[in-house]
Structure 1
Amino acid sequence: MAEQRVRPPWWLKYVNKVFIGLSKLGVGGEKGPAILTVAGRKTGKPRTTPVTPMTVDGARYVVGGLPGADWVANARAAGTATLHQGRRTQQVRMTEMPAEQARPLLRQFPTLVPTGVSFVRNAGLVTEGTPDEFEALAGRLPVFRFDEI
């Protein structure tokens, strides 16, 4: 079954560039957004996007905020990425969680990444942003685990 693509807001590309620039200046530190760089699935060129990892039981995860996002397709194809957060840069393996394993992680997302709730709400995927609503997105919103290489 093909994943239904949700069109990103027109301003997202510009805001992402600002976040990437600020991150290069060291704004945000170890707790702020991270910059994920993945090889493009068609060109092989590095593609960069800001993400906000969350830690659950000592493992780090990231939720794809929009179904059909290009960075998600690139991560699936590449399997590995570079993660820059604060002054730290590391190579990671990205493992997509099956829906059953993603369900409890998505349930924690509104608490652990509150800034992501409004983004998903604005995309029309949730109305209130409750843990139940996010849990119901399992199988629709991808969740990746980062494992250091």
Structure 2
Amino acid sequence: MTASTHVRKPGWFTVNVLNRTVAWTTRRGLSVWGSRVLAVRGRKSGEWRTTPVNLLTVDGEQYLVAPRGHVQWTHNMRAAGGGELRLGKKVDAFTATEVADDDKVPLLRAYLKRWKAEVGVFFNGVGPDSSDEELRRIAPDHPVFRITVES
């Protein structure tokens, strides 16, 4: 896809308060604005790794966007080719296909329209009303995966 190494590591408050709170409520079956717990096997350890994510739906298709860039779960997703989305006791196994940079513009726009207040800081001033050119410029920094839930 891209050679970008863009990463925005979360601060202490995000790791220890926000992520844990969202993960806790999501594990109990309460989705916070589309939240799920993503579980994906570690590319080196093979152990399940979990992190809270926002599940984006556009035109009936589901996507995971990495607002913080090329983080551990994105590397693991590329290696594993899929994982699980968890909401309470409901577990959806899925396969993942990475979206090409040129195809990300409408997805990034939709993601920012829904979650800009939560994640906008990670997009360096680009928002849902930014031009296609601005969204295309940041596309390499934000992996996007199309999710296909296994039946």
The TM tier, using the shorter chain, reads 0.7 to 0.9
**What code does the residue aligned with 1:22 have?**
T
Whole-angstrom CA distance in 2 between matches of 1:60 and 1:19? 20
1:28 pairs with 2:31: yes
Runs of 4+ in 1 over 6 A off after TM superposition: none
Tell me what 1:109 maps to: 111
1:5 pairs with 2:2: no
TM-score under structure 2 length normalisation: 0.83
Whole-angstrom CA distance in 1 between matches of 2:4 and 2:74? 14
Q: Secondary structure at the match of 2:106?
A: helix
Q: Is the 8 A contact 2:109 2:129 kept in 1?
A: yes
What is the identity percentage for the equivalent residue pairs of Structure 1 and Structure 2?
A: 31
Whole-angstrom CA distance in 2 between matches of 1:9 and 1:74? 21
Structure that is richer in helix per residue? 2
CA 1:122–1:107: 2 relative to 1, 3 Å? closer
Q: Can you give the 5+ residue segments of structure 2 that lack an aligned partner in the other structure?
A: none
Structure 1, residues 121-140: CA drift from partner, whole Å, max 9, x if none?
Answer: 333x3326234254532121
Tell me what 1:37 maps to: 39
Q: Secondary structure at the match of 1:137?
A: helix
Count of residue pairs brought into register by the alignment: 144
* Greater mean alpha carbon deviation, residues 79-88 or residues 139-148: 79-88
Q: Secondary structure at the match of 1:95?
A: strand
* Greater mean alpha carbon deviation, residues 17-26 or residues 50-59: 17-26
| CA RMSD, 1 decimal | 2.1
